[in-house]
Amino acid sequence: MTSVGASAPVLHVTNGDSAAGVIRAAGFADPVLPWRDVLHEGPVPAGLSTVEMAAIRALYITEQGWDAFGALLGSFRRRDERLAGLHECAEVVLWFEHDLYDQLQLIQVLDRIAGMDTDATRLTLTSEAAFIGSLPPDRVRRLFDSRGPVTTEVLEAGKLAWAAFTAPEPEALARLAGRVFAALPFLGSALMRLLEEYPGPGHGLGRTERQILELVEGGADTPAAAFAGNQAREDAMFMGDASFWQRLNGLLRGARSLLRWAEEAPASFPPASGDDRRFFDCRLALTDAGRAALDGRLDAIAANGIDRWIGGVRLRAGAVWRWDPARRQLIPPA
């Protein structure tokens, strides 16, 4: 057993830089480790070492144009090394929110911690349906005071969910989705929300894609309005603007695109700069194919194909799993 001295630091682990800044602003002087990965987008296959996982995640994010590969890979490796050194800490506090983005990060962290020597380190977890980045300092301190222990039950639930998320087929994920985990109260609903991103039967649209088409049809016909409307339709918002623009861009592409620009297209899409106001205000419209997909008269995958990862599952020709939200049932590839 490793011995930790009385002066050993507390390590705060959280989702990203916004929450990390709020934790620091609340008066916590110990190190804060932001996880920073958008795990609901791109490949997260099983069986990889931490070094291999960092590389495949950095490559995917770089290919989307969201960051530079070298800087991102270095950031992931430093993050992983810092967590691996948790035996040097007196306590590790996990600050993760209730939404899909955070819950996937949390189960990755728990899966890694489960394989480490933690006998000399206190492990705790905050658990409240609140977005940390928007909390005032006093609420953050109360959240810290109400933290609970990371028990063996918590670690086992995290390992089980991570194995299901990274598996090459989604049956195990479907068995866990919606389940009530006493140890992780927000996990079941988050996994259910992930399953809703699988293509639906008949129309081939995931929930976010369908929401975008419905919003544009209903008059939220600019990128800014569609993004705001999509966030409002979520019980627990999880998708940042970069992921949303990616999904919107996919609807504008393909042999039979489901969306079109109603007027002159913006100079760049996704926007080259967050200050590109013209992009946010450009109007969108459904194509005939988009209306047909919404009505269930056209299968978007049959029309445009698919090559997309959800965790460890790669959806592509001949291997398209679908999710029927009405029946809460997986439909295997035909």
Residue 276 belongs to domain spanning: 202-305
- Which residues of the chain register pLDDT less than 70? 1-7, 272-277
For residues 39 and 176, membership in a common domain is answered with yes
Q: Are residues 184 and 229 in the same domain?
A: no
End-to-end CA distance of the chain: 52
Domain identity same for 90 and 28: yes
pLDDT at position 178, please? 87
Q: Is 14 helix (H, G, I), strand (E, B) or coil?
A: strand
CATH number for position 208: 1.10.10
d(CA 258, CA 332): 25
Q: pLDDT of 216-252, one tens digit each?
A: 999 999 999 999 999 999 999 999 999 999 999 999 9
Give the pLDDT score at 4: 46
Residues 48 and 181 in one domain: yes
Of the candidates 94, 77, 233, 210, the residue with the CA atom closest to the CA atom of residue 69: 77
Q: Is residue 180 part of a domain?
A: yes
Q: Kindly report the number of other CB atoms within 10 A of residue 65's CB atom.
A: 11
Measured CA to CA, the distance from residue 159 to residue 169 in angstroms comes to: 17
- Asked if residue 252 is part of any domain, the answer here is yes
